[in-house]
Amino acid sequence: MKPIDDIASDIEMFVQLSSKLEMICKYIKIPLEASPLYNFRDALSHYIKLYEATTDEEKIRQEASIDEHLFRGIKDICVFIIIEMKEKASEALNEAGDRVKEHDFRKLWHKYKKMEIEIRKGTEASINRDLDSFIQELSNLVIETKQVFDKYHFSF
C-alpha cells in the first residue's frame, strides 16, 4: 500500500496531465470528451473511501480503484486525441496529390498509430512515470503535424 500522501500526489499529477491534454484539445480545436472528468470524480470518490477505510483489504481495494480511474481518464483522452489526429493525417493523405506530400502525411499517420498502440498497451502502474513523457511526445507530434499542414497549406 502506498501512503495516502502519495495517492494524493497521483491525483494531483492527473490534474496536471489532464490540463496538458485539455490544452492540446484546444490547440487542435476539438472538444474535450467527458471521460477524464468522470474518472476524476470516481477517483475522488474512492479517495474518500480510502481515507475512511479501516481494514488493509479495503484500503488496497480503494487504492487500486483510484489508480485505475486516474489511468483510464488520461488514457482515454490520449486515445481520443490520437484518433482525431490520425483522421486529420488520413484526410490530408487522401487529398495530397503528390508523392512528397503523401510521404509526409503517411509518416505522421504512422507516428500516431505507433503512439496509439503504445498507450493502449500501457498499465495503471505507469500513471506517474510514463504518461507525462508520453503526453509531451504527443504534444510535440501535434505541433509537428501543424507544421506539416502549414507547409502544404492544408487546413488543420
* Closest by CA position to 70, among listed 124, 123, 32: 124
Residue type, 152: Y
Give the H/E segment covering residue 62.
helix 56-95
Taking the C-alpha atoms of residue 139 and residue 24, their distance in angstroms, rounded to an integer, is 7
pLDDT tens for each residue of 123-143:
555 455 578 899 999 999 999
pTM confidence score: 0.89
Place of cell 485539455: 22
Cell of 149: 499542414
Which positions of the chain have pLDDT values less than 50?
126
Residues 6+ apart with CB under 8 A from 154: 92, 95
Question: How confident is the model at residue 156, as a pLDDT?
Answer: 85
Question: How confident is the model at residue 36, as a pLDDT?
Answer: 84
Taking the C-alpha atoms of residue 28 and residue 155, their distance in angstroms, rounded to an integer, is 11
Residues 36/18, Cβ–Cβ less than 8 Å: yes
Question: How confident is the model at residue 126, as a pLDDT?
Answer: 47
- How big is the CA angle at 17 (ends 14 and 21), to the nearest 5 degrees? 130
* Closest by CA position to 64, among listed 7, 8, 13: 7
